[in-house]
Amino acid sequence: MKLLLIEDDADLAAYLVRGLKEAGHTVDHAADGKGGLFLAAGGNYDVLIVDRRLPGLDGLSVVKTLRGADVKSPVLFLTAQGGVEDRVEGLMAGGDDYLAKPFAFAELLARISALARRPPLSEQTTRLAVADLEMDLVKRTVTRAGQRIDLQPQEFKLLEYLLRHAGQVVTRTMLLENVWDFHFDPKTSVVETHVSRLRAKVDKGFDSELIHTVRGAGYSLHAPDAD
Amino acid sequence: MRLTRTEGFRLTTLFAGIFLLAGGIVFALVYWISSQALEDQVRVEIRREASELMQPRPTAEGLMMRIRIKLAGSGHFHYLLVGPLDNRLAGDIAALPQAVGWSRQALAGGETEDRSEKNLLVWGERLPNGNRLWVGASLQRVSEAQEAIRSAFGLGLAAALVAAVAGGVMVSLGFLRRVDAINRTTRAIIGGDLSHRVPVSGSGDELDHLAQNLNAMLARMENLMDNLRQVSRDLAHDLRTPLTRLRQKLESASREPARREAEIAAALKEADELLDVFNAILRLAQIEAGQPTFAPVALSGLLSGLADTYRPLAEEQGRFLQARVEAGLMVSGNHALLTQMFVNLLENALTHTPPGTPLEIGAARAGRGVRTWIEDRGPGIPAHERDRVLRRFYRLEASRSTPGSGLGLALVDTIAQRHGLRLQLSDAGPGLRVEIFFPAAAA
């Protein structure tokens, strides 16, 4: 993927550029808002990674300007301020996701993939499927190999999110934010417990596992032969 | 002089001035009207005396006789009868008035009056025989009355003026004294002692309101300063241990290649825990300083959702999590903050009570507001510790070994305060009951 990183902290930027390149991405880097705006306006990037606090033109203004100029590349904000209000402000300015510093590199990778592969407005979708697992969003039913699986509302929401991001790595934080609307880090293993319950219903008793644990990163739902 | 610059003194001067002006106008009116009335009365008396002299009509000699008799008596009138050739026929008025009708004359010699003053009011008429008769009376009564009015008003106004100035000085001095007390307090606070408070007189006036507001502000500042001091102390204390451990792990990783992987993993975990503490502190600061947006929150849905989220975790520990949430409860608040508040309480109950301990989360209407509660059947918190657990970094001896930053309940307390909610910890007999009261349900 072709990425643009707008980050003024030289150490962090160097670390991120190296990591992203090792993960197989092409990365351009700008150290301030103006340079970032210049690059973003010219190149066709799959994802923009924008620090909110930048010297001169700040990240929020950069994204507002880009959106005003009809640049549609998805934007991931990086910030030292992780408050809910800041997050809302970033999303209102045209950002697509928000990651508070400090973050694990795996978290950043997962979010970049999720953003780049975000399907164009899939709200009309009524049916999600991976391998022999099917979800009917209208009837709110789930079947695997034609067999009905009964899910609690939260399990249904969790599986829906995994299905919508099938084939991608989904981190614990992404699940907390999108399934439970928790914008903080709970001290207990909420995600792990619910995923293991979901696994017991979706995978147990079937010949192949669909929900996979990605060590040090999160989870991924995909067909058994996908990797 | 400071006194003359106070608002109280300025107002007193203004009102004394207005009072003096009004008093002066009243004086002038009273003086003029009463002078007129008294003089009119004298005129009536003079006319009556003149007609009495002429009734029934006497001869010239008879009239002269009557005048002499009157003058010899004790009456207070004065007379003059003049012939056609201005020849004086009788009477005691010294000068000959120029015309008949009303005029003022000086009194005859030998009288006690000041002669230079034309203090005699006279009425003259032409008689049928060509003679002219004047009758007069002294205006001394009028001047006496005028003198009385003048001195009465003078004394009254002077007394009122003295009272106004004295009152103004007293009010101003009282005001100055109270302002001085406020200034002394602020100086003491600038000097570093935040425990001082502005005295409140108890009269409930504007200065008292000001003093009360200042005191409330001071209490909040003192609280914040205490918090800050406490936090800095606790930070230094609580972070030294994990930082030392982190250092040891990195050191051991660099010395023993065989253990490198395990030690680095342990160091990462240690660093994550440190970051957790920092995040919690940041979050506390953000909530305290920020202006969260409030909106109606469907409390029933939020709480039963949380019960659904945490029930599997409870069941894994062999617990039963009961939800007694009344349907349709709405409150005003910040959804994200309220979620975090209840999550912290639930997680506290899950981590600080032994596995198998039942939990309950509930909400019900209480009067115009809503009561929510989270309770467990665990060991509870001793009564004397209940206030302290809300403090930052405070941890019960029993929970020193369980993971946690000691900031969870402090965060709950802060969120409750930002929402104006009452937080109460009590004995669930056995166990801990945490109740949160929402003052009014949202419409």
pLDDT digits (tens, 9 = 90+) for B287-328: 877 777 888 999 999 999 999 999 999 999 999 999 999 999
pLDDT of B118 reads 66
pLDDT-based confidence at residue A83 (cuts at 50, 70, 90): low
* Whole-number pLDDT of residue A123: 59
B343 contacts A182? CB cut-off 8 A: yes
Once rounded to an integer, what is the mean pLDDT over residues B85-99? Answer: 82
How many structural domains comprise chain A? Answer: 2
| pLDDT tens figures, B180-194 | 888 888 888 888 887
Contact yes or no for B334 and A84 at CB 8 A: yes
Of B292, B310, B339, the CB nearest to A85: B292
Token pair of B205 as six digits: 């006036």
Cβ contacts of B145 within 8 Å, gap of 6 or more: B34, B35, B38
Q: How wide is the angle at C-alpha A20 spanned by C-alphas A19 and A25, nearest 5°?
A: 145
Residues of B in contact with A102 (CB under 8 A): 275
Chain B, nearest residue to A196 by Cα: B312
Min Cα–Cα distance to chain B from A106, Å: 14
Interchain CB contacts (distance < 8 Å): A and B: 56
Q: How confident is the model at residue A102 (pLDDT cuts 50, 70, 90)?
A: confident
- Tell me if A159 is assigned to some domain: yes
Instruction: State the average pLDDT over residues A6-19.
Output: 92
A177–chain B nearest CA distance, Å: 11
What pLDDT sits at residue B399? Answer: 60
pLDDT bin (cut points 50, 70, 90) of residue B111 is very low
User: Two tokens at B310?
Assistant: 């945490």
Contact A188 B351 (CB under 8 A): yes
Q: Are residues A141 and A199 in the same domain?
A: yes
Q: Residues of chain A whose C-beta is under 8 A from some C-beta in B?
A: 81-85, 102, 152-154, 180-190, 193-194, 197
Q: A106 and A57, same structural domain?
A: yes
Nearest CA in chain B to A198: B312
Interface with chain B: mutation pick from A99, A193, A199, highest number of B CBs within 10 Å: A193
CA–CA gap between residue B16 and residue B161 (Å, rounded): 6
Phi/psi-derived region of residue B363, left when phi > 0, alpha when psi is between -120 and 50, beta in every other case: beta
With CA atoms as reference, the chain B residue closest to A88 would be: B293
Minimum-distance CB partner of B290 among A83, A188, A193: A83
User: Shortest Cα distance from B312 to chain A (angstroms)?
Assistant: 7
B339-355 per-position pLDDT tens digit: 999 999 999 999 888 89
Q: Which residue of B has its CA nearest to A195?
A: B312
Residue B316 has its nearest CB partner, among A102, A183, A193, at: A193
Q: In the 8-state DSSP scheme, what is residue B325?
A: E
Distance of CA A90 to the CA centre of its chain: 15
Smallest Cβ distance to A184: which of B283, B313, B404? Answer: B283
Q: What is the DSSP string of B105-145?
A: EPPPTTSSS-TTS--EEEEEEE-TTS-EEEEEEE-HHHHHH
User: Which pLDDT score is estimated for B151?
Assistant: 92
The residue in chain A having the minimum alpha-carbon distance to the alpha carbon of residue B408 is A187
In tens, the pLDDT along B206-240 reads: 888 888 888 888 888 888 888 788 778 777 777 88
Question: What six digits make up the tokens of A108?
Answer: 């950043």
Residue B441 has pLDDT above 70, yes or no: no
In a domain, A227, yes or no: no
> What span, in angstroms and rounded, lies between the C-alpha atoms of B333 and B348?
22
Enumerate the residues of chain B whose CB falls inside 8 A of the CB of residue A82: 279, 282-283
CB contact under 8 A, A188 and B293: no
Residue A226 domain flag: no
Each residue of A188-210: pLDDT tens digit? 899 999 999 999 999 988 888 99
- The last residue of one of the domains, among A52, A84, A116, is A116
Question: How is residue A95 written in tokens?
Answer: 């950002």
Chain A, nearest residue to B308 by Cα: A154
Residues of chain B contacting A184 with CB distance shorter than 8 Å:
283, 340, 343
Q: Which domain covers residue A111, as residue numbers?
A: 2-116
User: Are the Cβ atoms of B316 and A188 closer than 8 angstroms?
Assistant: no
pLDDT tens, residue by residue, B35-79? 899 989 999 999 888 888 888 778 888 888 888 888 887 778 888
Q: Say if residue A105 is in the same domain as residue A146.
A: no
Q: How far is B407 from chain A (nearest CA, A)?
A: 12
Of the listed ranges A167-171, B3-7, B388-392, the one predicted with least confidence:
B3-7
The predicted model gives B156-180 an average pLDDT of 84
Highest mean pLDDT, choosing among A63-77, A80-94, B294-308: B294-308
| pLDDT interval class at B402 (50, 70, 90) | low
**Residue A109: inside a domain, yes or no?**
yes
Tell me what pLDDT residue B113 has.
47
Q: What architecture does CATH give domain B7-143? A: 2-Layer Sandwich (3.30)
Q: Is the pLDDT of residue B437 over 80?
A: yes
Buried b (16+ CB within 10 A) or exposed e, A69-95: eebebbbbbbbebbbbebbebbeebbb
Is the C-alpha dihedral spanning A156, A158, A159, A164 positive or negative?
Answer: positive
Extract the tokens encoding A39.
């690059």
Query: How far apart (Å, rounded) are the C-alpha atoms in residues A109 and A173?
Result: 13
**Cα angle: B310, vertex B311, B315; to 5 degrees:** 120
Residue B116 binned pLDDT confidence (cut-offs 50, 70, 90):
very low
Q: Do A37 and A86 belong to one domain?
A: yes
The secondary structure of B382-430 as a DSSP string is: -GGGTTGGGSTT---GGGTTS---S-HHHHHHHHHHHTT-EEEEEE-SS
Which residues neighbour B109 within 8 Å (Cβ) at sequence distance 6 or greater? B94, B115
**Do A18 and A56 fall into the same domain?**
yes
CB atoms within 10 A of CB A211: 19
Distance CA A36, CA B240 (A): 40
Same domain, A148 and A57: no
Of A154, A183, A185, the CB nearest to B276: A185
- Please, what is the average pLDDT of chain B? 84
**Please, which residues have CB within 8 angstroms of residue B265's CB and are 6 or more apart in sequence?**
none
**B176 min Cα distance to partner chain A (Å):** 47
Rounded to the nearest 5°, which phi and psi values hold at B49?
-65, -40
Q: Do the chains contact at A190 and B309, CB–CB below 8 Å?
A: yes
Q: Report the pLDDT averaged over residues B92-120.
A: 69
To the nearest whole angstrom, how far is the Cα of A209 from the nearest Cα of chain B? 22
Q: Please judge whether A83 and B293 are an interchain contact, meaning their C-beta atoms are less than 8 angstroms apart.
A: no
DSSP A113: H
Same domain, A101 and A28: yes
Q: Give, in order, the Cα–Cα distances in Å from B405 to each of B234, B401, B442.
A: 11, 11, 34
In angstroms, rounded to a whole number, what is the distance separating the alpha carbons of residues B180 and B175? 8
Q: Which residues of A touch B338 (CB under 8 A)?
A: none
The token duo for B42 is: 């004298």
Residue ending a domain, choose from A75, A92, A116 = A116
Q: List the single residue in A with minimal CA-CA distance to B290.
A: A85
Reply yes or no on whether the pLDDT at B106 is more than 90: no
Domain ranges across chain B: 7-143, 206-289, 295-438
Q: Residue A27 falls within a domain, yes or no?
A: yes
Domain boundary among the residues A99, A116, A133 is at: A116
Domain for residue A153, yes or no?
yes
Please report whether residue A108 resides in a domain. yes
CATH number where A72 lies: 3.40.50.2300
- Please list, in sequence order, all residues whose beta carbon lies within 8 angstroms of the beta carbon of residue B409, skipping any fewer than 6 positions away: B344, B348, B389, B390
Cα B226 from Cα B233, distance rounded (Å): 11
Tell me the CATH class for B206-289.
Answer: mainly alpha
Torsion over CA: B268, B271, B275, B281 (sign)? positive
Local confidence band at B400 (pLDDT 50, 70, 90 cut-offs): low
A165/A105 same-domain check = no
Contacts of B290 in chain A (CB under 8 A): 83, 85
**CATH superfamily membership of B295-438:** Histidine kinase-like ATPase, C-terminal domain (3.30.565.10)
The pLDDT of B3-15, averaged and rounded, is: 77
Q: Which of A84, A186, A187 sits opposite B404 (nearest CB)?
A: A187
Q: Alpha helix (H) ranges present in B198-298?
A: 206-255, 260-289
For residues B331 and B297, what is the distance between their CA atoms, to the nearest angstrom?
5
**Coil, helix or strand at residue A211:** strand
Nearest neighbour of A154 by CB, restricted to B282, B286, B309: B309
Contact indicator for B8, B171 with CB cutoff of 8 Å: yes
Average pLDDT rounded to a whole number, residues B414-443? 87
Residues of chain B with Cβ-Cβ distance to A181 below 8 Å are 335-336, 339
Asked if residues A195 and A211 have their Cβ atoms less than 8 Å apart, the reply is yes
Q: Are residues A174 and A146 in the same domain?
A: yes
Task: Report the amino acid identity of residue A101.
Answer: K
Of the two residues B425 and B71, the one the predictor is more confident about is B425
Of the candidates A85, A65, A72, the one whose C-alpha atom is nearest the C-alpha of residue A115 is: A72
- A84, A102, A193 ranked by CB distance to B336: nearest: A84
On whether both A130 and A213 belong to a single domain, the answer is yes
Amino acid present at B22: A
**Residue bearing tokens 């305290």:** B288
**For the segment A20-38, what is each residue's pLDDT rounded down to a tens digit?**
999 889 999 999 999 999 8
The tokens for B37 are: 């009335």
